Amino acid sequence: MSKRILMVEDTEDNRQIIRDLIATTEYELIEAADGAAGIAAAGAQRPDLILMDIQLPVIDGYEAARRIKADPALRHIPIIAVTSYALSGDEAKALAAGCDGYIAKPFSPRRLLSEIRGFLS
């Protein structure tokens, strides 16, 4: 059974880039377009990994990560922040919210896959 990745991303172009990247792997991709939908999908689908944008409608990625990590049934799921928030301190803020990894946009597809494989191996 292939491992499942939940992508929480509101921008269609960014979702397509990640779709195309994951299509080259053995992973299955689940999508959510806002933070609330991401939390719901995490609970319903129980993915093996979450790629979390930070700047999201409804509930931002920081709060979505906090809520996922507060749920005992979900807290084991690694969350990688994939975000355009790339100023000094943004990585620390994402990690403090519960993210396990951090990648700034624009990202290197090779680096993103390396991070994903590191968490899923």
- CATH code of the domain in which 28 resides: 3.40.50.2300
| pLDDT of amino acid 85 | 82
| pLDDT of amino acid 86 | 80
| pLDDT of amino acid 107 | 93
pTM assigned to the model: 0.97
3-state SS class at 111: helix
* Per-residue pLDDT reduced to its tens digit, 37-93: 999 999 999 999 999 999 999 999 999 999 999 999 999 999 999 999 888 899 999
| pLDDT of amino acid 50 | 98
Residue type, 110: R
The whole-angstrom separation of Cα 33 and Cα 57 is: 8
* Per-residue pLDDT reduced to its tens digit, 98-107: 999 999 999 9
The whole-angstrom separation of Cα 91 and Cα 17 is: 22
Q: Are 37 and 22 in contact (CB under 8 A)?
A: no
| pLDDT of amino acid 55 | 96
User: b/e map of 71-103 (b: 16 or more CB within 10 Å)?
Assistant: eeebeebbbbbbbebeeeebbeebeebbbbbbb
Alpha-carbon distance values, 107 to 12, 24, 111, 112, 115 (Å): 16, 17, 7, 7, 11
What is the pLDDT confidence band of residue 34, given thresholds at 50, 70 and 90?
very high
Range of the structural domain that residue 16 is part of:
4-120
Instruction: State how many domains the chain has.
Output: 1
**106 prior amide bond cis, ω within 30:** yes
DSSP state of 76: T
| pLDDT of amino acid 116 | 97
| Residue 121 predicted with pLDDT over 80 | yes
